[in-house]
Amino acid sequence: MALNLRRLNKPDLPDDGPDRGDAAFRTKVAVQQFMNANGPLFTAFAKAGVAVSEVVEGEVIRQPASQAMRLATLVAATLANKEPSAVSAAEARPFRATAASYVASRWLAGMEVDVNRAAAEIAGAARLADRTWDHDSYKDDGISGNASLMITAINAAATLARAVEKYDFRAGRANVLGKRLVPAIVEAASRTARDMLGENGPEADVRNVTQTAARNLCAILEACYERKAREVVALLDGKPEAEKRAWYEANDPLEDVLSAFREWTLCFGAFAIAASRDMSTFKVPETRGREMSPGE
């Protein structure tokens, strides 16, 4: 897939001064918002084996993304007792990830999405939560940015371990997880963040985007891994042991997993950059100077 995030991400930023810093900050936040709001959809596409080229063309993602946006807006409208047309992007934003997850799960199952019914159910659940649920358990712990980033990496390893525990392609769980998957996530998230923000991007901002990218890319890698595992299990099911050993000697299914993951990383990053160019022109919530917690 001939995409280069550094070449793609050439925003028209002022040469110097506070305007350049503000523009870069808006780009950072816009990229993170896109990733958090659309990661579940890209994970679903990877899990279903949709070709990356089909997503790039736009037809595959158009309806699910529209449904997720509509669902988030309806939830916000229900909770705020206002017409959907009066709901702002900021009001809908807290529900975007949940809406995308809901739509993605229905899409994977081949089920229709009843947006109005789903909005009523999600809004009903939201009303049950009191404000103590919004407390950031990391906020008062004095956790540094680097420590927070480490926690994100640990969470990524734990997530991938679930898939490896089910099937390790006869390569050994420790080898698959520690030498192939986790390094792939760390490298992809770090490179994606740096490519998006540029070589001169503030380290705190790069760290923020790295965390966001790591969490979303981890889900995509898990989807790629599980899909390949199901494919290999089905292929070798019922075959003699000698034939299975010969197949593994001649093939590297883990490289197939990582190759698919690299394509999805580029696709996801390209969409985030493209979306950020539109989103970053709007005012975003002021979060400058605040480190993201591992849950963000």
pLDDT in tens, 23-65: 677 888 889 999 999 999 999 999 999 999 999 888 889 999 9
Burial tier of 151 (Cβ tally within 10 Å: 0-12, 13-18, 19+): middle
Mean pLDDT across the chain: 82
Which tokens in the block code for residue 233?
């299990």
- With a pLDDT cut of 70, the percent of the chain lying above it is 78
Give the least confident one: 93-97, 163-167, 291-295.
291-295
Whether the per-residue pLDDT at 293 is higher than 60: the answer is no
**Residue among 38, 116, 128 nearest 78 (CA):** 116
Interval 150-158 mean pLDDT: 74
- Rounded to whole angstroms, the Cα distance separating 226 from 168 reads 10
Give the least confident one: 17-26, 151-160, 179-188, 262-271.
17-26
pLDDT of residue 244: 96
What are the angstrom distances between the C-alpha of 226 and each of 61, 119, 164, 188, 232?
Answer: 21, 30, 9, 19, 10
Domain map (residue ranges) of the chain: 17-131+144-279
The single residue listed with the structure tokens 């480490």 is 150
- Rounded to whole angstroms, the Cα distance separating 154 from 142 reads 18
- CA torsion through residues 59, 52, 215, 229, sign: positive
Contact (Cβ atoms closer than 8 angstroms) between residue 31 and residue 269: no
3-state secondary structure of 104: helix
Task: Tell me which of 98 and 294 has the higher pLDDT.
Answer: 98
pLDDT of residue 145: 60
Interval 265-271 mean pLDDT: 92
Which tokens in the block code for residue 197?
């923000």
- Rounded to whole angstroms, the Cα distance separating 86 from 113 reads 23
Contact (Cβ atoms closer than 8 angstroms) between residue 143 and residue 207: no
Q: What's 133's DSSP letter?
A: G
Interval 62-71 mean pLDDT: 93
Which tokens in the block code for residue 177?
């997880």
Give the least confident one: 43-52, 178-187, 281-290.
281-290
pLDDT of residue 158: 81
Contact (Cβ atoms closer than 8 angstroms) between residue 123 and residue 59: no
Whether the per-residue pLDDT at 133 is higher than 60: the answer is no
Whether the per-residue pLDDT at 153 is higher than 80: the answer is no
Which tokens in the block code for residue 178?
């520690």
Contacts of residues 251-259 at CB distance under 8 Å and 24 or more positions apart, as own/partner, are 253/169, 253/228, 254/169, 254/171, 254/176, 254/180, 256/228, 257/221, 257/224, 257/225, 257/228, 258/180, 258/184
- Rounded to whole angstroms, the Cα distance separating 32 from 293 reads 13
Which tokens in the block code for residue 112?
């229709």
pLDDT of residue 287: 36
pLDDT, tens digit (0-9, with 9 covering 90-100), for 4-25: 555 545 544 444 555 555 667 7
pLDDT, tens digit (0-9, with 9 covering 90-100), for 109-128: 999 999 999 999 888 887 77
Identity at 111, one-letter amino acid code:
M
Whether the per-residue pLDDT at 2 is higher than 80: the answer is no
